[in-house]
Amino acid sequence: DTGVSQNPRHKITKRGQNVTFRCDPISEHNRLYWYRQTLGQGPEFLTYFQNEAQLEKSRLLSDRFSAERPKGSFSTLEIQRTEQGDSAMYLCASSLVGGYYEQYFGPGTRLTVT
């Protein structure tokens, strides 16, 4: 399978704990995006990387959130001191650079903060 993969698929954590999610994009894709989706809403953009550089961050990405893509391949999204409002589906997508290129999404990580 050469699609976007995300791990874990599900994460249940207690409020105040830190969590980390991983995304492996399609291998030839330079761009990697993180989105968050809550019930009844469409995905909302969080941040994106071109190779290893983080080029844009949404206002949704509070100081408790940090994302990395150290070697321009896989990416991690860490949430520190989780809150119940962080419960959501976290989606990763990847695409080629430039022009009009569709983004391909992974299956997502469902986070539940209790």
Partner 1 sequence: DQQVKQNSPSLSVQEGRISILNCDYTNSMFDYFLWYKKYPAEGPTFLISISSIKDKNEDGRFTVFLNKSAKHLSLHIVPSQPGDSAVYFCAASGRGSQGNLIFGKGTKLSVKP
Binding status of residue 28 toward partner 1 by CB under 8 A: no
Closest approach of partner 1 to the CB of residue 81, in Å: 26
Binding status of residue 48 toward partner 1 by CB under 8 A: yes
With CB under 8 A as the contact rule, the residue among 43, 75, 79, 82 that binds partner 1 is 43
Binding status of residue 75 toward partner 1 by CB under 8 A: no
DSSP label of 84: G
Binding status of residue 94 toward partner 1 by CB under 8 A: no
CB neighbour list of residue 34: distance below 8 Å, 6 or more residues apart: 23, 45, 46, 47, 48, 67, 75, 77, 90, 91, 92
Closest approach of partner 1 to the CB of residue 51, in Å: 14
CB neighbour list of residue 90: distance below 8 Å, 6 or more residues apart: 6, 21, 34, 35, 36, 37, 77, 108, 109, 110, 111
What is the distance between the alpha carbons of residues 78 and 81, in angstroms, rounded to a whole number?
10
Binding status of residue 60 toward partner 1 by CB under 8 A: no
Binding status of residue 74 toward partner 1 by CB under 8 A: no
Binding site for partner 1 (CB under 8 A): 4, 6, 31, 33, 35, 40-45, 48, 55-56, 58, 91, 93, 95, 100-108, 110
